[in-house]
Amino acid sequence: MSKLHRPLGTLSDERDPVRLTPDSAGWTYSGLRVLSLAAGESRVVRTGEYEAFVLPLAGACTVRVDGQVFDLTGRDSVFIRVTDFAYVPRDAEVELSTVEGIEVALPMARCGRRLEPRYGPAENVPVEVRGAGQATRQVTNFGVPGVWDHADKLNACELITPGGNWSSYPPHKHDEASECEVVNEEIYYFRVAGRDGVTPSREGFGLHRTYTSDGELDEDVAVRDGDVFLIPRGYHGPCVAAPGYPMYYLNVLAGPAEERSMAFCDDPAHGWIRETWNDQELDPRCPVTSHEGRVS
C-alpha cells in the first residue's frame, strides 16, 4: 500500500477519524486532525507546538480558548455552504462543545510564534472559480496569505470539484525555493459526495496523481470519502471527480519560509493548458457554495 495514501480508518478511529502529526507524516510542519463529537459532547484539545484552524465540516460548535468564546455556525455538509471558522494558537487549551454534534477539522502547523485566537466570519471568505471547461472548480480561500494573514506558518483552503471535472490541474509542485515556488508540505483531505451530491459517502470515488520528474514518486490512486494523501514533494494533480460524485478536499500547507506563501511551479510539460482556458466557458455548476448556501 502507498505510504502517501492514507485511507479512512488507517489514521485513527471513529471518534478521531484523522490524527496526523508532522512526525507521523514523516516531515516537519503540516498536520491535520478530524474530530467527531456527539450531541452534547465537549472535548479539550491542547495545541502544544501547533497553531490550528477550527473548521466545521458538518455541524456547529462553540470554541473556548484563552478566555475567548467563538460560536461557529458551521454547516450541514462541506457541499452545502462556506463555513465560519476560528484560529487557535500554539500552547493553548481549546475546548470544543456542541449541542447537536459535529465533525470538525483542525488543519495545523508546527510554528514558533504564538498569536492571539481569532474568529473568521463566513461572509469574509472569498470564493474563487478557477480553470474552465472540465477543469472548472471552486476554491474557497479561507486561510491563505493575503486573505487570512493571522498565522505564523499555516495555510489552508478548500476545493470543490463537480462530478466529472478535474482540479489541481495542471500538475504543480512546491518543494524547493526558486523564482516561482516555496517549500511547502501539503495534505489533501478528501470528502466525496454520494449520489445526492451533498451527503458524503464512501460510495463515490475520485482519482489523484503525484509524481516526480525522476520517477522516484509515481502514484495514481483512487480516493474515497475521508481519505488523506500526503504531498512531501513532486508534482501533484490532477484530482479527478468521478461523474456523479462531487469531490471536496481540504488543502493544508506549511513549510520553513519566514513568510507564508503558497507559490508553486507548474509541470512545464502541461503548463500550456492554462492558456486554453481563455477560449472555454466556465462550468455553470461553479461556484457550488457561498456563505449563504448552495449556489447551483
Other C-beta atoms lying within 10 Å of the C-beta of residue 29: 21
Which contacts of 9-14 are long-range, i.e. CB under 8 A and separated by 24 or more positions?
A: 9/226, 11/228
Provide the pLDDT for residue 14. 75
Provide the pLDDT for residue 142. 98
Q: Where are the domains of the chain?
A: 5-274
**170 preceded by a cis bond (ω within 30 of 0):** yes
Cα–chain center distance at 50: 17
Pull the grid cell for residue 249: 478536499
| Range 5-274: architecture per CATH | Sandwich (2.60)
Residues of the chain with pLDDT under 70: 1
HEC string for the chain: CCCCEECCCCCCCCCCCEEECHHHHCCCCEEEEEEEECCCCEEEEECCCEEEEEEEEEEEEEEEECCEEEEEEEECCCCCCCCCEEEECCCCEEEEECCCCEEEEEEEEECCCCCCCEEECHHHCCEEEECCHHHCEEEEEEECCCCCCCCCCCEEEEEEECCCCEECCCCEECCCCCCCCCCCEEEEEEEEECCCCCCECCCCCEEEEEECCCCCCEEEEEECCCCEEEECCCEEEEEEECCCCCEEEEEEEECCCCCCCCCCEECCCCCCHHHHHHHCCCCCCCCCEECCEECC
Other C-beta atoms lying within 10 Å of the C-beta of residue 217: 17
- Specify whether the CB–CB gap between 206 and 193 falls below 8 A: no
- What is the pTM (predicted TM-score) of this model? 0.97
Provide the pLDDT for residue 93. 98
**Alpha carbon distance 43, 22 (integer Å):** 22
Provide the pLDDT for residue 2. 76
